[in-house]
Amino acid sequence: MANTFALILVILTFVTGIVWVIDKLKWGPARKAARQAAQDQAEVGLDEKTLATIHPENVLIENARSLFPVIAVVFVLRSFLYEPFQIPSGSMMPTLLVGDFILVEKFSYGVKEPVWQNKLIPVGEPKRGDVAVFKYPEDPRVDFIKRVVGLPGDSIVYKDKQLYLKPACESQNCGNYKALDTQLLGKETFKDQPGMVEVYSEILGEVAHQILISPHIPDRAASFYQQSDVKTYQYEWIVPEGHYFVMGDNRDNSADSRFWGFVPEQNLVGKAVATWISFEFYRDPNGLLPTWVPSGVRFERIGAIK
């Protein structure tokens, strides 16, 4: 499904670019020649205001010509380099909080055309531990952000709130599942997070990060996604080729691959690399004021995303 905003941006860039080129090659020289002819025929020098009335430029053409450089820069930046996103939920806490505004590196997983997201130049692939933005497989109009846990061919188990991993290998004897290296850091309470949660450090691939576990929330294994093409346990998945298994760092408050399946490679938007600003939002206990009103800036959150 096409990205509507990207499609609009492509059309605007194309239309204003055509106007800019035609103006450079035809309309602009014609205006200049007409005004020069008028200046040559005048007995006195004509000021700029008078010259502007000779062979006047159409307002729409003038605006399109002026806007093209700005739109072109936005198009290149947003489509191929970096795109801003806002974090709307707490599924990636404590790594990302509601109100964080992040930058996503669009070329991390290959240079793609901006509308249909077909790969043009293979640059890189997701690594285990990346924080990735992707189109939600069940509704590509919606952007999701999660951490890449499983790569193509990996075997994943999530049982009793513990993550186990068996990386893909070519031989038949791939060894056994290994639990990820985790360590309890303590218990905390978070805004936008009900109850007290346990904070763990976790090492996923080469990435060390923190996760949240809510001991008061029961295991939801009965709702886990079940593969139809392979025989696995209720809590086990084998990542297909060209797909990825993703999870939120807020393990008990995240709708992720455990519940709806795998992310196709084509759905990948890019890698989240930095938080460029973070707002704390005012919450009126009486519900009279809007919840989107910023009440402060969290400067300490600005920086790289791990």
**Number of residues assigned to the chain:** 306
Active site residues: 91, 146
3-state per-residue secondary structure call for 163-184: EEEECCCCCCCCCCCEECEEEE
The CA radius of gyration of the chain, in Å to the nearest whole number, is 27
Distance CA 219, CA 126 (A): 28
* 99 burial level (CB within 10 Å; 0-12, 13-18, 19+): buried
Q: Which residues contact 168 (CB under 8 A, 6 or more apart)?
A: 151, 152, 153, 154, 155, 174, 239
Distance CA 224, CA 226 (A): 6
Beta bridge partners, 274, equal 103, 304
